[in-house]
């Protein structure tokens, strides 16, 4: 009887753990702008993350003056090194870029 109670407790713990993790992975505030380019709305601003240099260059050429700040860092994964571009801007400017990206990217 003791073994059955332990097994039932472990099964319930696993089910509860997956139940709690699944809403955390749902990023409904993440918007896909283009290939390998996402926009995330935070509490105070928006963040554009991009690993495609051509897409970032196009966004920067047309809307670079709207950026509050941006960074470019080298990252490494199992396929090799790549650049990660991250730009921060206000929510209003992000909505402007989002509407522009629908037709231009």
Q: Which pLDDT tens digit goes with each residue over 4-38?
A: 888 888 888 888 777 665 554 445 578 899 888 99
Per-domain boundaries in the chain: 27-104
Please tell me the distance from the alpha carbon of residue 60 to that of residue 73, in angstroms, as a whole number: 16
What contacts 81, CB < 8 A, 6 or more positions away?
Answer: 74, 75
Cross-strand pairs, 74: 83
Determine contact, residues 56/37, Cβ cutoff 8 Å.
yes
Residue 40: its pLDDT value, please? 93
Residue 22: its pLDDT value, please? 53
pLDDT tens column, 25-73: 445 578 899 888 999 998 899 999 999 999 999 999 999 999 999 999 9
């Amino acid at each position: 009887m003791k073994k059955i109670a332990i097994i039932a407790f472990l099964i319930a713990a696993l089910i509860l753990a997956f139940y709690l993790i699944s809403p955390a992975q749902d990023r409904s505030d993440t918007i896909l702008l283009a290939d390998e380019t996402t926009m995330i709305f935070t509490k105070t601003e928006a963040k554009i993350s991009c690993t495609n240099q051509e897409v970032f260059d196009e966004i920067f050429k047309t809307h670079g003056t709207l950026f509050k700040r941006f960074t470019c860092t080298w990252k490494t994964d199992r396929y090799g090194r790549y650049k990660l571009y991250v730009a921060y801007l206000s929510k209003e400017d992000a909505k402007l870029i989002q509407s522009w990206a629908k037709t231009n990217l």
